[in-house]
Amino acid sequence: MADENLDIKNVEESFRKNNYIPNDNIATVVFLAISLKKPILIEGPPGTGKTEVAKAISKAFKKDFFRIQCYEGITFEQIVGEWNYQKQLLSLEMSKINKKEEDVFKEEFFIKRPVLSSFINENDSIILIDEIDKADEEVESFLLQALGEKQITINDLGTFELKNDLIVVMTSNSQRQLLDETKDRCLYLYIDYPDFEREVEIVKVHTPTASTKLIKNVVKTIQKLRNINMAKNPSIRATVDWVKSLMILAKEDLDENTFEETINVVIKNEDDKEKALENIKFK
């Protein structure tokens, strides 16, 4: 779909066709990001579908998908690329045998990582920089400069210009405060756990043969669990897994016995399990 024909309704419809159920805020921010060609910074609790937004954009708008999973200590080489030293040494050895000089600082000797690959990809692309708050400020600053200037310079190799209509999505769990410059250059999107109606709709997409009654009872229970101050709140994926598990067990409803038998599908901590069993009651 051409950008000039795009509107918020188109974004929502395209997402739904690819099994992602957006709310109005998500659809609006994605529409503006595509129209303004600005990165999106997504924050929110773990398990609310931040990563899935980038995947949905890739599918809905047929963009090649690249991903960086950030972690503490991640380096420039791991996100952009690095020289293939073994290949360089082998080439130098061969050049000595053949008595022919070999330039080993060429692109064929460079291993491209996701940032550079997404920049020079011929097809329109999207790059997900997941959990950027886990990377240090130097990495964040580099990404900010590269994305802002739409070019990457690599010592001994040269400068690479952006070759496609690249969309950048960054996610953060607020492990550390991001740079103001990063926030200023991005459209901001906060994704919380969905309301009851949206979560029911999301689960229906992933479990189309489940009964509406079962889905609603599971979602209602999940949302109660998220309100009892647990160490780890159940994710949307956990809701889907719970419904699928109950279907496998041929359970048509979620009653007290079934809750106790299957709570381990969604609870990943023994203290949380005790809280759940103590606080969630069935009439």
For the stretch 224-259, pLDDT in tens is 999 998 899 999 999 999 999 999 999 988 989 999
pLDDT, tens digit, for every residue of 108-132? Answer: 889 999 999 999 999 999 999 999 9
- The CA distance from 9 to 24, in Å, is 9
pTM over 0.85? The answer is yes
CA distances from 269 to 64, 194, 219 (A): 37, 23, 20
Q: Which long-range contacts (CB under 8 A, 24 or more apart) does 143-147 make?
A: 143/79, 143/115, 144/179, 144/181, 144/182, 144/185, 146/115, 146/119, 147/39, 147/185
Q: How confident is the model at residue 4 (pLDDT cuts 50, 70, 90)?
A: low
pLDDT at 155 (0 to 100) = 86
Q: Which residue has the higher pLDDT, 90 or 245?
A: 245
How deeply is 177 buried, as exposed, middle or buried, from its count of CB atoms within 10 A (0-12, 13-18, 19+)?
A: exposed
**Parallel/antiparallel/unpaired status of strands 64-69 and 125-130:** parallel
Helix (H, G, I), strand (E, B) or coil at 180: helix
- The CA distance from 58 to 63, in Å, is 5
pLDDT at 188 (0 to 100) = 96
User: Domain ranges in the chain?
Assistant: 3-190, 196-279
What integer is the mean pLDDT of 169-198?
A: 92
CATH 3.90.1150.10 applies to domain 3-190? no
Angle separating helix axes 212-225 and 236-248, nearest 10 degrees: 130
